Amino acid sequence: MLRTAGASGNAATRTAGGVRTRGWLERLILSEYLVFYLTTAYFLAVWPIVPEIATASSLSNMLTDMLPLLVVAIGQTFVLIVAGIDLSVTSIIAFASVVGASVMTADGGYLGGSPLAVPAGILTFLLIGGLIGWFNGFCCTRLGMPPIIVTLTGLMFLSGTAIWYTTGHSETSSIAGLPKAFVLIGQGSAYGVPNALWVALAVGISAHLLLGHTVFGRWLYAIGINRKAAEISGVPVGTAILWTFVISGVCAAIASILFTGRLETGTPVLGQRILLDIIAAVVIGGTSLAGGKGKIVWTVGGVLFLVVIDTSLKLLGMSLFVVFAVKGGVILFAAIIDAMRQRIIMRG
């Protein structure tokens, strides 16, 4: 693990060599797990107002609600660490959803009814995510285009294409009739644990290990901090960045599998509205948009934070504008906390 990641949190206390002791508030604000404390505090605050939030089924709903979001956010974390950004993830979710569904659907799918339908369908999802990610990465590294432009164009193009593709495969606006076995990935459970959770755990743990314990992970942080220095130090910068986009694409595709499964439908507008949520979650967690800083655990915290707030607002039956304003307020609040944190560090 690159130390820089935690450095913002620890540098001050460390250089002080334990000479200075900080107040509990300062320590709390400096903690790199602040977002978890905030989530807990918020949860405890709304509990008396909507007691339903603490019921077992509500908690399990919250858990399953956050999983697909978490998986995309994990992919995004990789891209942000190298100072990139991937705005195409939601369109990958949508596009993979309809293409994958068109392979599996019982009403006229390419492999509809065949026992191969599900494995081939899943493979389609992953391939689409990987290929689009690869294409994004290719444009950003080999052609030197800015990631925001590449992926923004991808977003617009793929969203359109997803709708166009659907009209070619379905009378309605979406593709239904998905095999039971596939739907179970998004809905079912094994050993009392939702399948989606198994999937998210697998993705999360591999991502965590990849970032923290491998050469590839260290390269990514190095590229994020100083790309030129990384290049001169023999880091295959282009290839590494390309892979972050592939990872992001594949994560989006996995999220798409979960979303598509839970809605039992391949739809071309899937996930369209969650783009900013994804990026906000990662950044609230503490990953820097400027690159070089980020952790999977932080992202988990960021997603959890957003989902808890979202759920509470849903349970409160809040109107749309309240939801918007509260979300904005919360993000601003997170920003203020982060700024305070910087101040304290600077003060030394």
- State which of positions 132-191 bind other proteins (CB under 8 A): 143-144, 146, 148-149, 152-153, 155-156, 160-161, 163-164, 167-168, 172-176, 187
- Shorter beta-carbon distance to other proteins: residue 124 or 256: 256
Segment contacting other proteins by CB under 8 A, of 71-79, 197-205, 242-250, 273-281: 273-281
Cα–Cα nearest to 92, from 154, 10, 178: 154
Rank residues 34 and 331 by Cβ distance to other proteins and give the closer one.
Answer: 331
Q: Is 329 left (phi over 0), alpha (psi -120 to 50) or beta?
A: alpha
Which of 25, 49, 205, 339 is close enough to bind other proteins by CB under 8 A?
339
Q: Which of 307, 289, 335, 296 is nearest to 61 (CA)?
A: 307
Residues 6+ apart with CB under 8 A from 169: 98, 102, 105, 108, 175
Q: How far apart are CA 296 and CA 285, in angstroms?
A: 9
Q: Which of residues 205-234 bind other proteins (CB under 8 A)?
A: 213-216, 218-219, 221-222, 225-226, 228-234
Task: For the CB of residue 33, give the shortest distance to other proteins in the complex, in Å.
Answer: 18
Kindly tell me which of 36 and 293 has the beta carbon lying closer to other proteins: 293
Q: What angle do CA 269, 274, 278 make, to 5 degrees?
A: 140
Rounded least distance, CB 29 to other proteins, Å:
13
User: Of these, 110, 181, 264, 297, which contacts other proteins (CB under 8 A)?
Assistant: 264
CB of 190 or CB of 229, closer to other proteins: 229
* Rounded Cα–Cα distance for residues 14 and 323 (Å): 40
- Please pick, from the candidates 111, 122, 140, 235, the single residue that binds other proteins as defined by CB under 8 A: 235
Minimum Å gap between C-beta 116 and other proteins is 23
Contacting other proteins (CB under 8 A), which of 63, 120, 184, 263?
Answer: 263
Residues 87-116 that bind other proteins (CB under 8 A): 87
SS3 194: strand
Number of residues that bind other proteins (CB under 8 A): 110
Contact call for residue 78 and other proteins (CB under 8 A): no
- DSSP letter string over 216-257? HHHHHHHHHH-HHHHHHTT--HHHHHHHHHHHHHHHHHHHHH
Residue of the chain from 39, 102, 288, 299 that contacts other proteins (CB under 8 A) = 288
* Burial class, 3, CB count within 10 angstroms (exposed 0-12 / middle 13-18 / buried 19+): exposed
Interface with other proteins includes 306 (CB under 8 A)?
A: no
Q: Which is nearer to other proteins, 111 or 237 (CB)?
A: 237
For the segment 9-38, give every residue that binds other proteins (CB under 8 A). 10-12, 14-17, 19-20
Compute the chain's Rg from CA coordinates. 21
Residues 312-331 that bind other proteins (CB under 8 A): 314-315, 317-331
Give the list of residues 6+ apart from residue 137 with CB closer than 8 angstroms, or none: 241, 242, 243, 244, 245, 246
In whole angstroms, how close is the CB of 164 to other proteins at the nearest point? 5
- Name all contacts of 334-339 with Cβ < 8 Å and 24+ positions apart: 334/35, 334/38, 334/284, 334/305, 337/29, 337/34, 337/38, 338/286
Query: CB-hemisphere CA count at 13 Å for 285?
Result: 30
How near is the Cβ of 141 to other proteins at its closest, in Å? 14
Min separation Cβ 264 and other proteins, Å: 5
Distance between start and end Cα atoms, the chain: 24
Shortest distance, CB of residue 158 to other proteins, whole angstroms? 12
Residue 270 interacts with other proteins (CB under 8 A): yes or no: yes
Shortest distance, position 297 Cβ to other proteins, whole Å: 18
